[in-house]
């Protein structure tokens, strides 16, 4: 129920990048199709007549790619509302700085709907992370291969010594 003592106030919209914890957890899984979550927070609006949707690179995101709170939450002290929406994207989309992710909150102020939005660009560094992972993996492979070669050499040396010691006593018998 609307309170006539509270002034109609438009939302402040902010898109937050994936949390570092989620990013690390996904990288540890090493899945080819890992996903990350962007969060849109619309706050400080009154009344609660809003709808939220996402655009990825200017195109509307499909409904199964994002989820929005069923209803806005009202702060008991200020009486203003807030709502959140989450967009799940593939990690490789996030690690491409050419991609843009826009959260649009349509707010009805009693006379008409007005869109309020915030956009975030994909992060640089995804290729660096993949490169670092590749370099670490190749270094591990090199060390493993060197240990295998050294072990094989020592085994060969051991066999040569055993054969040489076994042949020496038999050579003395013929003298």
Assign 5 a pLDDT band (cuts: 50, 70, 90).
confident
Residue 110 — left, alpha, or beta (φ > 0 → left; ψ -120 to 50 → alpha)? Answer: left
Beta bridge partners of 85: 40, 68
- Residue reference for tokens 């195109």: 59
What is d(CA 99, CA 57) in angstroms, rounded to the nearest whole number? Answer: 6
Confidence (pLDDT) at 172: 59
pLDDT per position as a tens digit, 30-63: 555 578 999 999 999 999 999 999 999 999 998 8
Taking residue 3's Cβ as centre, other Cβ atoms within 10 Å add up to 9
- The per-residue pLDDT of the chain, averaged, comes to 85
CB 105 within 8 A of CB 51: yes
Between CA 84 and CA 75 the distance in angstroms is 14
CATH number of 12-124: 2.60.40.10
Each residue's pLDDT tens digit, 120-164: 999 886 555 566 666 777 888 888 888 889 899 898 998 899 888
């Amino acid at each position: 129920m609307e309170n006539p003592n509270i002034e109609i106030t438009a939302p402040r919209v902010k898109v937050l990048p994936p949390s570092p914890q989620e990013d690390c957890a996904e990288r540890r899984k090493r899945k080819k199709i890992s996903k990350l979550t962007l969060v849109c927070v619309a706050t400080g609006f009154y009344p609660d007549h809003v709808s939220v949707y996402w655009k990825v690179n200017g195109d509307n995101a499909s409904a199964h790619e994002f989820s929005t709170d069923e209803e806005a939450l009202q702060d008991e002290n200020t009486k203003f509302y807030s709502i959140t929406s989450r967009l799940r994207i593939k990690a490789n989309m996030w690690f491409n700085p050419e991609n843009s992710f826009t959260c649009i909150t349509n707010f009805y102020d009693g006379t008409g709907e007005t869109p309020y939005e915030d956009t975030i660009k994909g992060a640089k560094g995804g290729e660096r992370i993949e490169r670092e992972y590749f370099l670490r993996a190749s270094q591990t492979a090199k060390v493993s291969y060197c240990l295998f070669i050294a072990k094989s050499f020592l085994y060969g040396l051991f066999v040569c010594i055993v054969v040489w010691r076994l042949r020496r006593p038999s050579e003395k018998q013929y003298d």
